[in-house]
Amino acid sequence: MSKLQIKNLHVEVEGKEILKGVNLELNTNEFHVIMGPNGTGKSTLVSTIMGHYKYKVTEGEILLDGQDVLKMSVDERSRKGLFLAMQYPSEIEGVTNSDFIKTALHARMDKNEKFSLIKYIKTFEKATEDLKMRLDLPHRYVNVGFSGGEKKRNEILQMKMLKPKFALLDEIDSGLDVDALKIVGENVNMMKSNDFGALIITHYERLLDYLSIDKVHILMQGKIVISGGMELITKIDKEGYEFIKEELGLEEEQEENKRGIIGTCAVKGSLGDRNA
């Protein structure tokens, strides 16, 4: 069993605080869902856990089995067992999916460990079959020319092959049609075990039909404001997020006064500011 702990996490982007004290604990063999209105910091949370360069942690801790994740480089986090399935995966020309995953597996191996190519090919073929991916997709450059849905399936293919302890799934259901949603949902659910847990960000209930969810967290205004079970999702589906605001007495956040894009371009002074 493994444990991922997030303690009082504060994160800012370009000087603006997005996460304002997030606390969360996730064990393997658990699936947690994070929901919340747009712009409340859901993607910020998972990107920060993975170590994205844009996000600056100003306070708090992230621990993986007691080890300080914030001190680890991005690749080290991956090798220690974290995996981020991205909302907008990069397109990498010049390396095929198959070679890419092979390189990533090599990076995880001990120096004396032997790599079995036959075993790799069999596992790879089984995973692509499970995900009902087009036969040529694994042999094409990573995500190049893939549709939105194909890219998402490709993220899950990588996850299946790399076998992380914790997967962070950032809106993995967006861009998927009904059939693909079922395939992806079932494949993620199949992985649930004492060696695997997931933190799932979604806006839609449909993906959750295929996953056995243990806990639901609502992230609003940079904090987890309420946690519960699936009944929370049913209520949000009916009433939106307004009832939470009312119950908890949350006030609307005021947007900072910003110059419009047209103004910024048109005013000479603004250009000076930007270039300063």
Partner 1 sequence: MTEMPNQVKMKQLVDFKSNFLNLSNIDIKKNQTKVVVNKVLTEDNIKINLDENATLTYITFDEGKNEHAYNYFTANLQKNATLKIYNVITTSFHHNIKGMVYLNNIGASVEIINLLLGTKNAQINSDIDIYHYQANTNSNLTNYAIAKDFANVLLNNNATIKKFASSSVAHQQTKGLTISKDAKIKALPNLYIDEYDVIAGHACAIGSINKDDLFYLMSRGLSEAEASKIVVMGYVRPILDHIVDQELKQTIEQVFANKLLNE
Binding site for partner 1 (CB under 8 A): 50-53, 73-75, 77-79, 83-84, 86, 89-90, 92-95, 100-101, 103-104, 107-108, 141, 158, 162
Distance between CA atoms of 143 and 140, rounded to whole angstroms? 8
Q: Calculate the CA dihedral of residues 19, 56, 28, 68 and round it to 10 degrees.
A: -130
Distance between CA atoms of 62 and 190, rounded to whole angstroms? 27
Residue 100 Cβ, how far from partner 1 at the closest point, in Å?
Answer: 7
Residue 181 Cβ, how far from partner 1 at the closest point, in Å?
Answer: 23
- C-alpha dist (Å) from residue 264 to 14, 15, 22, 172, 259: 18, 19, 34, 35, 6
Comparison of 107 and 265: residue with beta carbon closer to partner 1? 107
Residue 209 Cβ, how far from partner 1 at the closest point, in Å?
Answer: 28
φ/ψ of residue 101, rounded to 5: -65, -35
Comparison of 47 and 221: residue with beta carbon closer to partner 1? 47
Residue 52 Cβ, how far from partner 1 at the closest point, in Å?
Answer: 6
- C-alpha dist (Å) from residue 172 to 115, 136, 139, 157, 181: 30, 22, 22, 12, 9
Comparison of 54 and 235: residue with beta carbon closer to partner 1? 54
Comparison of 141 and 210: residue with beta carbon closer to partner 1? 141
Comparison of 127 and 181: residue with beta carbon closer to partner 1? 127
Residue 87 Cβ, how far from partner 1 at the closest point, in Å?
Answer: 12
